[in-house]
Amino acid sequence: MRVLGVVLSGVLIGCGGSGGQAEVGARLEALEARVDRLEGMGAGSGGQKSAKGEKPDRSASTVAPGEAVSENGAPLPEGEEGAKVLFREARRHARLMESEEALQRLATLQAHFAETETAKRAGRLRRDLKTVGTSVEALNVSTWFQGDDSKVDIANGKTILIFADVTEGDPEGRIKQFNISVNEYRESVSVVALLRGGDSMSKADATTFATTHGMQAPVGKLTKRIKDNFGVRGTPSAAVVVGGTVAWKGMLTELDENVFERLL
């Protein structure tokens, strides 16, 4: 408005005398209309103006205290979209086996987006991450359908445990794909498959499942005790035990070359 005052002063000086009053009034009205238009344009662009040739400064934080932000410091969208950003960041840390960082992202997700569907889906990842670090001295398998763990040194060696359900099968072929991926590490790791299928599951059911999915490893029964110890929910899933401690836990599709290279 200071600019407007200067301009108006110039107008009044240039149009002095009583004969110029009508002209002054007309010019004032024209200037006021022009200023109104300029102010409206400024408001439509957020009310921020920058000097000619300069870009607006977007580095200043617009995050309110306590507001959830992404890892690059940007404010998060509301609702599901914001929750998905945090979930993606948590999963990325989990793939890199950075459990602490992943849990921090999940904690932020729960604190700010607890009512979203994404937060509910994140529960499985949270349980898997909290399983990491659990001590495992022995499997304590009560029933073996194929082979046994006599050659598996879970307390000192490296062991991959596969958890599967014979009633669900594996239509996407994840178990077969795992068998292919793990082949080059067979000399440095033991593999044990643990199956569930309800009280009616027979040895024939288990061995048929193992043969169909190319399981050459020892195959035992997944009991409730083992299921609870490893936090098994969805199947097929897996856990990697190194020196008697769970080093990784997740769905079988997430057990990729990155995990193999880091642990095996």
Asked if the model's pLDDT at residue 10 lies above 50, the reply is: no
* Residue for token pair 């000399």: 187
- The class level of CATH for 144-263 reads alpha beta
Cis peptide, bond prior to residue 236, ω within 30 of zero: yes
* Residue for token pair 């301009």: 7
Reported confidence tier of residue 246, pLDDT bands at 50, 70, 90: very high
Quote the pTM value: 0.69
Identify whether the C-beta of residue 175 lies closer than 8 Å to the C-beta of residue 165: no
- Tell me what the pLDDT averaged over the chain comes to: 79
Reported confidence tier of residue 29, pLDDT bands at 50, 70, 90: low
Q: What local confidence, expressed as pLDDT, does residue 96 receive?
A: 84
Give the total residue count for the chain. Answer: 264
Identify whether the C-beta of residue 71 lies closer than 8 Å to the C-beta of residue 89: yes
Q: How would you class 161 by CB atoms within 10 Å of its CB: exposed for 0-12, middle for 13-18, buried for 19 or more?
A: buried
The mean pLDDT value for 217-237 works out to 90
Per-residue pLDDT of 42-57, as tens digits, reads 444 444 444 444 433 3
Q: What local confidence, expressed as pLDDT, does residue 25 receive?
A: 53
Q: What local confidence, expressed as pLDDT, does residue 22 receive?
A: 52
> Could you please report the per-residue DSSP string of 89-110?
HHHHHHHTT-HHHHHHHHHHHH
Q: What local confidence, expressed as pLDDT, does residue 80 receive?
A: 95
Identify whether the C-beta of residue 191 lies closer than 8 Å to the C-beta of residue 156: no
Q: What local confidence, expressed as pLDDT, does residue 33 receive?
A: 53
Per-residue pLDDT of 197-220, as tens digits, reads 887 889 999 999 999 998 889 999
Dihedrals phi, psi of 173, to nearest 5 degrees: 70, 30
Asked if the model's pLDDT at residue 167 lies above 80, the reply is: yes
Q: What is the DSSP letter of 57?
A: -
Lowest mean pLDDT among 6-10, 63-67, 96-100: 6-10
Asked if the model's pLDDT at residue 15 lies above 50, the reply is: no
**3-class DSSP state for residue 247?**
strand
Asked if the model's pLDDT at residue 17 lies above 80, the reply is: no
